[in-house]
Amino acid sequence: MNLAALEAALPIPALASRGFYFAGDDRLRLSSWNSLASVTVVLTGRFLHVDGRVEAFSEVHTPNTNRTAATSSYNRAEGWLMDLSVVVTGATPQRGQTFVRVDVVRGLGSVDVVLSTLLQGYVTATKRLGYPGSPIEDSLAGQGCLRSITGTDPAAGVEISETVPTGARWRLIAFEMTLVTSGVAGNRRPTLIADDGAAAFFRAHAGTNLAASGTGNYTGSAAPQPIANLGSDIPLGLPPNALLLAAARIRTSTTAIDPGDNYGAPQYEVEEWLEAI
């Protein structure tokens, strides 16, 4: 049978061969992982019904802002999904801040079965994902979101501790902090520690002591730095490509810290990915 004869034999010949068939009890499920406020995800597409009618549809989904998964399901009649597009409105996330997945599922709640994944990847206000065409992308692949974060300014006598949020993976690029010591005699020496939430796996010791009534500006970087201090600027080494899982901490531990010693809010740069799980 030639192609023309085959198309004539099918009920919706030319279009049916280019769509994703829905049996009538299948649904589209949009899942999102997001870290930015005010993000809205818009799902648009065209659907070919069995009576030959083409429906253009648009669905709106609101992600969570704490990197946990949010899902929405949309019923579809029997027919063929022709194409699909996802884009962000309401905010302008960077790549690495809003991740979406569109599945075809059958069933409800915890007993649903994923039949197929149509779309998966990071989406922004200008970079759409489309079906067919866009590759299925892992949330940990490619470039993440570059962030410069101001941490918590600890109370006097309290160490710095910054925690990787749930649902995030960080690559620590640089870390900067200031310690102002009290007038109580004694040498202090900060150590920058990376741990997994409990056990330390990296320690960078400052090369020099900081005396009473002193100020030390500590700069941690994986890039080569001068060994000697420059004024009150004191270099710290960081491991190259320092990947940190959720719950990991970057913290200080200061030899002979006095209750009057005062760290300022740390400033650090990380590359962040969403752990879409």
Partner 1 sequence: MRVTCNSCHGIYETVSRDGLPYTHVCPPLRGMRVKVNGVESIIPYDPKFAGGVVLDDAVAVPRTSARDERPDLTKKPIDGVYPVVSDGLGVTETPAAAVPLVGF
Does position 212 bind partner 1 by CB under 8 A?
Answer: no
Does position 117 bind partner 1 by CB under 8 A?
Answer: no
In angstroms, the Cα distances linking 272 to 32, 79, 133 are: 16, 40, 26
Does position 209 bind partner 1 by CB under 8 A?
Answer: no
Among 77, 174, 265, 275, interactor with partner 1 by CB under 8 A: 265
Distance CA 208, CA 196 (A): 27
β-pairing, 79-89 vs 40-49, is antiparallel
Does position 36 bind partner 1 by CB under 8 A?
Answer: yes
What torsion, rounded to 10 degrees, do the Cα atoms 194, 69, 117, 82 define?
-130
**Shortest distance, position 191 Cβ to partner 1, whole Å:** 5
Closest CA to 75 of 89, 88, 57: 57
Cβ-based nearer residue to partner 1, 130 or 165:
165
Does position 112 bind partner 1 by CB under 8 A?
Answer: no
**Shortest distance, position 179 Cβ to partner 1, whole Å:** 9
> What is the size of the binding site for partner 1 (CB under 8 A)?
50
**Shortest distance, position 128 Cβ to partner 1, whole Å:** 21
- Which stretch, 52-60, 116-124, 135-143, 173-181, contacts partner 1 (CB under 8 A)? 173-181
- Which stretch, 46-54, 141-149, 206-214, 222-230, contacts partner 1 (CB under 8 A)? 141-149
**Per-residue x/- mask for partner 1, residues 79 to 98, rule CB under 8 A?**
------------x-----x-
213, two tokens: 């009534």
Does position 40 bind partner 1 by CB under 8 A?
Answer: no
- The secondary structure of 11-47 as a DSSP string is SSHHHHTTSEEE-SSEEEEEEEEE-STT-EEEEEEEE
* Token pair 């499920």: residue: 29
Cβ-in-10-Å burial (0-12, 13-18, 19+) of 269 comes to: middle
Yes or no: say if 106 and 112 are a contact pair by the CB < 8 Å rule: yes
Distance CA 217, CA 235 (A): 8
Among 123, 193, 210, 242, interactor with partner 1 by CB under 8 A: 193
**Shortest distance, position 96 Cβ to partner 1, whole Å:** 10
Does position 276 bind partner 1 by CB under 8 A?
Answer: no
89, two tokens: 């409105």
- Which stretch, 80-88, 102-110, 114-122, 193-201, contacts partner 1 (CB under 8 A)? 193-201
* Buried-state track 86-119, b at ≥16 Cβ within 10 A, e below 16: bbbeebebbbbbbbbbbbbbeeeeeeeeebeebb
Among 52, 153, 239, 260, interactor with partner 1 by CB under 8 A: 153
Q: Which residues pair with 270 in a beta bridge?
A: 147, 172
Longest dimension (CA), the chain: 95
**Shortest distance, position 161 Cβ to partner 1, whole Å:** 3
Residues forming contacts to partner 1 in the complex (CB under 8 A) are 35-37, 64-68, 70, 91, 97, 147-155, 158-161, 163, 165-167, 176-178, 180, 191, 193, 195, 199-200, 203, 217, 247, 249, 251, 253, 255, 257, 262-265, 267
